[in-house]
Structure 1
Amino acid sequence: MQNPACIFVLAAASVAATLAIPANADTFPSKPITLIVPYAPGSPPDQYSRRFAERFGTKVGQKVVIENRPGALTTIGMAQAARAKPDGYTMVYGSNSSLAAAPYLFKKIAYDPIKDFSAIAVTYESPMILIGRPEDGKLGLAGMLERMRKEPGKHPIGGAAITQEVINKMLQKQAGIEQPYARYSGANIPTDVIGGSLSMGINALSGLQPLVESGKLHVFAFTSAKRLPGKWSQVPTVAETLPGFELSSWVGFWVPSGTPKPVIDFLYAKTAEVINEPDFKAATEETGAATVQMTPAETDAYVKTEGPRWQKLLRDAGIEAQ
């Protein structure tokens, strides 16, 4: 027979565990969920988020409202998310830019990537592409870099977010070129490349396939270590011209720290369902990205290791905190 004292202790522990779970956990979600996207409307992250939000809303049975909060290299939107109530009704689209690099790009930011957020999942990794005008495509990347080397200051390069800025620094340093860099906050890089105000753009492939396939844009190279499989296998990597060059971005979803674990587990389960739907996965990979499914615990651990890595990348690229 069990000791009555033990039975009492076990019962008390059970009650405490029950009380630790919010009363509304079983009915979550009971109202719309806000997804903060720290990028401009129409940008590749915004496009992915909207595609995800539509599917995710169906899975959870509530509308998912996109709230674009671009600015300060994604830190404005992230700071807003960090201040939100930790009840699962505010999610944020996060990335290596906002969670790994930002602390080393700014002397002060209004959030702590580790303490202020709990992960739902990293959902994909993606290299960037170097784009240019079709008439420059015949030069190839090596020829384009040679032109830039011979004509310093005359061939602007444009990019948005932190990953692209690091890629620009790496490219200019390794190629031995000196060209102005234009930092964008919206989705105008392809337009300005086509229009001629940019000689080269650093961008995600997402959303640009129609412009590439119609011949309005040329893709010089991917920033991945190896060529992508499938339809993009004919496009070379930067590393084929500049050995050792490689940098990809990762993205996913987070909630404010303190969000109850049952809610996080629910959001993760529904996120996994969305990203593994065959047509959603195919559409993601069509953009040159690889679907990734990290658990909340794996993602939290990953972010902790990525901070020091990005600190070194930024230092090696000569980018100092501002």
Structure 2
Amino acid sequence: MKKSFRRLLLISIPALAGIIAALPARADAYPSKPIRFVVPYPPGGPLDAVARMLADKMKDGLGQVVVVENKPGAGGNIGADLVAKSAPDGYTIVMGAVATHAINPWLYPKLPYDPVKDFAPVSLVATVPNVLVLNPDTAARLGIGSVKQLVTYARAHPGRLNYASGGNGSAGHLAGELFKMSAKASMLHIPYNGAAPAQLGLLAGQTDLMFDNMASASQNIRAGKLKALAVTTAKRSSLMPELPTIAEAAEDKGLAGFDISTWFGVLAPAKTPEAIVNRLNAEIVHALHAPDVKERMARLAAEPAPTTPGQFGALIQSELKKYAAVVKASGAKVD
């Protein structure tokens, strides 16, 4: 009887060990190893810089190193797809953005991931306002000193004005398309190979106006090299509170409710346990409230915007609906 019991025990222990190994890691034991934080864009931009700030802050609370890994390509799709197809255990996360989760699904005919079904939202991290800027000489020559005057001129002179952007399907391009749709005004789109060349073209007077990222435009605005009319967000920016919103400045020109910005936030693969998502959320929210993080983000013109996982998921859904119409109107496609 004892021999039979010992034999059964010897057979059962390996089987039990296999079952335990197959079970998901307990949330209270998480994390037990370094976390891979994928940034789907090259190093150096505001999104990458904020991801590195977060990684540095989160390591203390999590008790593990958070390793930032840049995986650029295909407008952010390569890095996002890598995380979508990773194990849902909380050890691989991504800094998604308005492009990867709201614009690209309509811009690319064959997106390798589903922006909603393949991810578990953790928290929105930041918003970066866009700002409507003109070449100062053009503004003076045409007598355009406000958004209202811009719309009036564009309606009276269809196709006469042009606006620069970093390329077809870029945030600046789609902001211009939403502006045209809302104001019922005609302007010609001039795409450049990147936002920096587009801004140089505007400064040189090659183009008339641009919906630029505040992070890159603010220095030239303060130096008087660009004339800022308004921010593109629903609320004024704390970074330049003197600038009205487009909705405010346009008054009765059909732009009420105009709201478009660059945003980014953290997502995990779908089916990541809720307890792990909440743990990551708590660490991100804590990091974003740190005074030194707020100060460093302000220098990048990025405004901290922590949310719950549910709030971030709702934002992605609403932004997807918005950009479906805007991308369709723009006619932009990327093969």
Q: What TM-score do the two structures reach when normalised by structure 1?
A: 0.76
Structure 1 residue corresponding to 2:110, chosen from 91, 108, 111: 108
**1:92 Cα offset (Å):** 1.2
**1:118 Cα offset (Å):** 1.0
Number of the residue aligned with 1:122: 124
> Which whole-Å CA distance do the structure 1 matches of 2:292 and 2:80 have between them?
29
Aligned: 1:209 with 2:218 = yes
SS at match of 1:73: helix
Structure 1 residue corresponding to 2:281, chosen from 247, 250, 268: 268
* Cα distance change on mapping 1:137 and 1:89 into 2, 3 Å: farther
* Cα distance change on mapping 1:93 and 1:55 into 2, 3 Å: same
Number of the residue aligned with 2:164: 157
* Cα distance change on mapping 1:164 and 1:53 into 2, 3 Å: farther
**1:272 Cα offset (Å):** 0.8
Aligned: 1:247 with 2:259 = yes
> Which whole-Å CA distance do the structure 2 matches of 1:274 and 1:190 have between them?
33
- Which portions of structure 1, spanning 4 or more consecutive aligned residues, are displaced by more than 6 angstroms? 16-19
Q: Is the 8 A contact 1:39 1:185 kept in 2?
A: no
Correspondences of 1:1-322 after superposition (within 5 Å) = 20-22=23-25, 26=29, 28-31=31-34, 33-136=35-138, 138=140, 139-142=144-147, 146=153, 150=157, 152=159, 155-159=162-166, 162-173=170-181, 174=183, 176-182=185-191, 184-185=193-194, 187-228=196-237, 230=238, 232-239=240-247, 240-241=249-250, 242-244=253-255, 246-249=258-261, 250-284=263-297, 290-315=303-328, 317-319=329-331
> Which whole-Å CA distance do the structure 2 matches of 1:251 and 1:157 have between them?
23
SS at match of 1:274: helix
Matched residue count: 304
Residue-by-residue CA offset, 1:90-136 (whole Å, 9 max, x unaligned): 22111233223332333320001122111111123443112344444
Q: Is the 8 A contact 1:194 1:216 kept in 2?
A: yes
SS at match of 1:268: helix
> Which whole-Å CA distance do the structure 2 matches of 1:148 and 1:68 have between them?
44
Q: Is the 8 A contact 1:153 1:180 kept in 2?
A: no
Residue-by-residue CA offset, 1:281-316 (whole Å, 9 max, x unaligned): 35546766553332223333443444334324444x
Residue-by-residue CA offset, 1:29-58 (whole Å, 9 max, x unaligned): 522x33322334333323333333333344
Percent identical pairs in the alignment equals 24
Number of the residue aligned with 2:11: none
**1:254 Cα offset (Å):** 0.5
> Which whole-Å CA distance do the structure 2 matches of 1:201 and 1:22 have between them?
49
> Which whole-Å CA distance do the structure 1 matches of 2:156 and 2:50 have between them?
36
Q: What TM-score do the two structures reach when normalised by structure 2?
A: 0.73
SS at match of 1:232: coil
> Which whole-Å CA distance do the structure 1 matches of 2:139 and 2:180 have between them?
19
SS at match of 1:36: strand
* Cα distance change on mapping 1:77 and 1:136 into 2, 3 Å: farther
**1:193 Cα offset (Å):** 3.1
Residue-by-residue CA offset, 1:137-170 (whole Å, 9 max, x unaligned): 5542445663797484774411466543321112
> Which whole-Å CA distance do the structure 1 matches of 2:68 and 2:210 have between them?
27
> Which whole-Å CA distance do the structure 2 matches of 1:112 and 1:253 have between them?
16
Number of the residue aligned with 1:7: none
* Cα distance change on mapping 1:24 and 1:273 into 2, 3 Å: closer
**1:321 Cα offset (Å):** 5.8
Q: Is the 8 A contact 2:83 2:269 kept in 1?
A: yes
Letter of the 1:209 partner, please give it: S
Residue-by-residue CA offset, 1:184-235 (whole Å, 9 max, x unaligned): 556544344334444333232135433433334432321123433x552222
Aligned Cα root-mean-square deviation (Å): 3.6
